[in-house]
Structure 1
Amino acid sequence: MSELRFERVSVRYGTRRRGLTAVDGVDLTVPDGAIVGLVGESGSGKSTLARAAVGLAPVTGGRILADGSPVRSPGPVQLVFQDPYSALDPRMTIGASIAEAFPRGSKDRGGEVGRLLEQVGLPADRAAMLPAQLSGGQRQRVALARALAARPEVIIADEITSALDVSVQGTVLNLVRDLQRRTRLSMLFISHDLAVVRYVSDFLAVMYLGRIVEQGPADEILTDPQHPYTRELLAAAGAETLSEVDAVADAEPADPHHPPSGCRFHPRCPAGPLVLGDRGVCRDTEPSPEGHRHETACHFAASTTLAHTRRSR
């Protein structure tokens, strides 16, 4: 078990003139033995942050720590990918794929493969099969078993239910919760679907255009969200008790190559300068999370005016 910590982590691709900062100064902690749900729209930088943690994306600023030490190899942190069909080598048996992930010098690999398969809810005899002989949900269970085979301190699950049928998603989510309770592994669970993330998470972090805009205990954020973007995500998930309000003009997210000045959410914010003319600070000044509940990066986090605006529209 271990704590995973991102300290001012940035990931940038391309050149200075034509580059893209996919992750911009992210501070995020996955506590020892807890599940942190990371939620946001496609393109917000969630998967890039996950790939950076296992060395698949360049960390251009900040650092990533596992149990206080810099992550220099993917060993302590294992990533389970979104697509269960491409995550496994189609020419290798299930047993061989899992055994390949064992640390060097491991003994009784056959017995350990069987134990891991049973741990993820599959019969041990599936070890002799090829990936093509399994369903998508079964393949995702194998991918989880393969991640566990490396004996990681932290697992990152990146959109692991989004490619599955709705009927299968629930069983995989139940498996994730059960595994985490039995193993007490730390886990970063990533999804664009807040309804999925809320089901498994102890803590929530909300990401928008490369930055964390709100984070804290899951039950607190779900019952008392402070950032207008979090409120919009809750409304979309059908969990908001206030009247649903769409973002201004149903605007699309800004171009990540040219993010807006000030608050990056202000062109879409239902309580921002396009709605309330006296909030020009949102256009001009980047909000700080300091001093706000849930480390909310909003100048008017959960203000009375925001609540009134949502109820009255």
Structure 2
Amino acid sequence: MIVKDLTVRFGTFTAVDHVTLEIPDGSVVGLVGESGSGKSTLARAIAGLVPYTGTIEGSRRVQMVFQDPYASLNPRMTVGASIAEGLPRGMNRREEVARLLDLVALPADAAPRYPRQLSGGQRQRVAIARALGARPELLIADEITSALDVSVQGAVLNLVRSLRADLGLSMLFISHNLAVVRYVADVIAVMRHGELVEIGPADQVTAAPEHDYTRSLLAAVPRLARTTT
């Protein structure tokens, strides 16, 4: 997918300002920036959830996984029903739900449960399985670990890496945490005040950042900052 000169305005406020970004097939692009930088608005524009100007070339099948898995799942629907809801017609839904649950490392017996009966990490896995059921060409993961306990975040990040390896997923992975982004992304794009201020290979951006804002994000992650000096 190639995003060209994408702009999102809400009245007189410009949330995303002439952003151009390429997401190569089979790659994970990490989009990082502080709250209010415009990264989630950019993601919603790519997913077709907010109006924009500019062009988006390539993938038309886009699925988005949101920050709060409990809010994104219907509490009155079982896990299996939630996943099956987005599946293409003509498919054996029970078998496909079981396959998708296995893909995100959940047991088949999770299908009859309700979201309230699962942990936060398990709910996020269900949300990912539901998105994958629609056979997306691009998966957008918007702060999917920030609402989880630290002990659970690593497991979800490892899941993201394994899905990319096993399925060849193209992904836009969004986070305010540069260390998290570096762990999963091939390319890092840094966003500030609605603009991309730096973009490049993940190792390059974290080892030798060119922009002062990127350096400030690095400084906010002591362990990562130490490894790049």
Secondary structure at the counterpart of residue 145 of structure 2: coil
Between 42-51 and 105-114, the greater mean CA deviation after superposition: 105-114
CA shift for structure 1 position 241? 5.0
Cα distance, 1:240 vs. partner? 2.8
Please name the residue that 2:97 is paired with.
113
Match of 2:137 among 138, 153, 158: 153
Q: 1:201 corresponds to which residue?
A: 185
1:300 match: none
Trace 1:113-192 onto structure 2 (pairs within 5 A): 113-192=97-176
| 1-structure distance, mates of 2:105, 2:206 | 31
Report the TM-score, using the length of structure 2 for normalisation. 0.96
CA distance in 1, matches of 2:90, 2:32: 36
Where is the helix percentage greater, Structure 1 or Structure 2? 2
Map 1:15-34; keep pairs closer than 5 Å: 19-34=12-27
d(CA) in 2 for partners of 1:32 and 1:26?
Answer: 19
Alignment of 1:225-244 (within 5 A): 225-238=209-222, 239-241=224-226
Paired position in structure 1 for 2:32: 39
Is residue 48 of structure 2 the alignment partner of residue 64 of structure 1?
A: no
Q: What secondary structure is seen at the aligned counterpart in 1 of 2:72?
A: coil
Count residues with an aligned counterpart.
227
List alignment gaps of at least 5 residues for structure 1. Answer: 245-313
User: Alignment partner for residue 6 of structure 1, among 3, 6, 17?
Assistant: 3
Structure richer in strand, relative to its length? 2
What percent identity do the matched residue pairs reach?
63
Matched, 1:84 2:81: no
Q: Which deviations, in whole Å up to 9, do the C-alpha atoms of 1:109-168 show, x marking residues without a partner? A: 100000100110000111111111111000000000000000000100000000000010
SS at match of 1:121: coil
Hey, what's the Cα distance between the residues in 2 that align with 1:20 and 1:84?
Answer: 29
**What amino acid is aligned across from residue 44 of structure 1 in structure 2?**
S
Cα distance in 1 for residues equivalent to 2:2 and 2:98: 33
Cα root mean square deviation, aligned: 1.3
What is the one-letter code of the residue matched to 2:20?
D
Task: Provide Cα deviations, 1:234-255, integer angstroms capped at 9, x if missing partner.
Answer: 111123359x9xxxxxxxxxxx
User: Partner of 2:43 in structure 1?
Assistant: 50
Q: 1:195 Cα shift?
A: 1.1
SS in 2 for 1:47: helix
Give how far 1:65 is off. Answer: 2.0
CA distance in 2, matches of 1:102, 1:9: 30
**Which whole-Å CA distance do the structure 2 matches of 1:176 and 1:226 have between them?**
28
Q: Highest relative contact order (Cα 8 Å, sep 6+), 1 or 2?
A: 2
Note the residue ranges of structure 2 that are not aligned, 5 or more in a row: none
| Shift in Å, 1:224 | 1.0
Structure 1 Cα separation of the partners of residues 133 and 43 of structure 2 = 19
Letter in 2 for 1:40: G
Cα deviation for residue 106 of structure 1 reads 3.2
Distance (whole Å) between structure 1 residues aligned to residue 81 and residue 56 of structure 2: 31
* Equivalent residue letter for 1:11: V
How many angstroms apart in 1 are the aligned matches of 2:149 and 2:122? 12
1:94 aligns with 2:79: yes
